[in-house]
Amino acid sequence: MTNIQQIAQTLREHSTVCEELLGLVMREKKAWQAPDAPPSLELYQAKRALLPRLNQSLDQIKSCRGVWQKMTPQDRAQNSEIGALLQQTQNLILKIIVLDRENEQVLLRRGLGPTAQKTPVNRQQQPHFVAELYRRKHF
């Protein structure tokens, strides 16, 4: 298998993993649209099961990146399939990010997000709260 064929195959495999992840994120979005039912544990486990495959795919992409960058610009220009596969994969990743961000917002609106991301009560007071306390104590 030539370097170009190997890169194309790796990109196709990565695209497949991204499509699976997109499907899971879309299922999660649909589950969050239900008024009172959060996504199932099965969906969470499916996402966790996909993570090792995604990491492996990313490692393969990284190795192909070095091969691609070492090629001459003429060789890269002759292989438009790679550019199309890269664009397809980037589009999938952007869709995943947007949907996942929407799912996260729903999660936070329902009060189910991590407490570290919530604003502490004291921080919501006036901007010069500490300065005012200091003024009261020392004068």
For residue 39, give the CATH number of its domain. 1.20.58
61, two tokens: 């992409």
Q: Which of 92, 74, 72 is nearest to 11 (CA)?
A: 92
Q: In terms of residue numbers, what domain contains 68?
A: 3-138
Give the separation between CA 91 and CA 27, rounded to whole angstroms. 18
Contact 16, 61 (CB under 8 A): no
Per-residue pLDDT of 38-94, as tens digits, reads 777 888 899 999 999 999 998 898 888 888 888 888 888 888 888 888 889 999 999
Highest mean pLDDT among 7-16, 70-79, 103-112: 7-16
Report the domain count for the chain. Answer: 1
Q: Are 117 and 108 in contact (CB under 8 A)?
A: yes
